[in-house]
Amino acid sequence: MKYVVILLILAVLIWYALDGRARLKAKPWAKGFFDWIEPIEIFLYKKSETILLARLKMLTGVLLTVLTYLGTIDLTPLMPFVPDEWEGMAHALFNLIPLTVSLLGLMDERLRNTTTTPIEIVALPEKAKTPAIQEAIAMADSTKQEAVQVVKNAGAA
């Protein structure tokens, strides 16, 4: 029963990250909730839905690891379909799934922290970048860096 509760909490968090937060933000009655939850969101995932989903992936990998360790996830029903000489490999690969999910979450978070260019600029072909577009991109980058520096300096004061 406790595993069902954990999975239900995980499902609610995923819904909140994918769709719920945006829907609730649009409701005037939810303002008090967001005033209360904002410091928690900043602490846990910097109010970034991408980081939230990445960390939920990592949590899912940890949960799968714990369930596998406890023996809750059982491969016995699948083993008749696996040839005898491949059973060891099947078990090893199955045990690597939680680690893979966690590593994917870690990569997603790292990507979010290192890439901040809007997709419209990234998707623009190099040959379509006129001097005016390149100048606009350079101005946007410098403005972004200045804004980040101002925020950092304000936090240090």
pLDDT at residue 26 is higher than 80:
yes
Q: What's the pLDDT band for 58 if we cut at 50, 70, 90?
A: very high
pLDDT at residue 72 is higher than 70:
no
Count how many Cα atoms sit within 13 Å of the Cα of residue 35 in the half-sphere of its side chain: 5
Q: What is the pLDDT of residue 66?
A: 83
Are 41 and 47 in contact by the 8 Å Cβ rule? The answer is: yes
Give the closest residue to 110 by CA, choosing from 98, 119, 122, 102.
Answer: 102
Record the tokens describing residue 120, joined without a space.
Answer: 């419209």
Q: What is the pLDDT of residue 102?
A: 93
Distance CA 63, CA 41 (A): 21
pLDDT at residue 157 is higher than 80:
no
Distance CA 1, CA 7 (A): 10
More confident call, 74 vs 113: 113
Distance CA 56, CA 10 (A): 8
Please state the rounded mean pLDDT for residues 79-98: 86
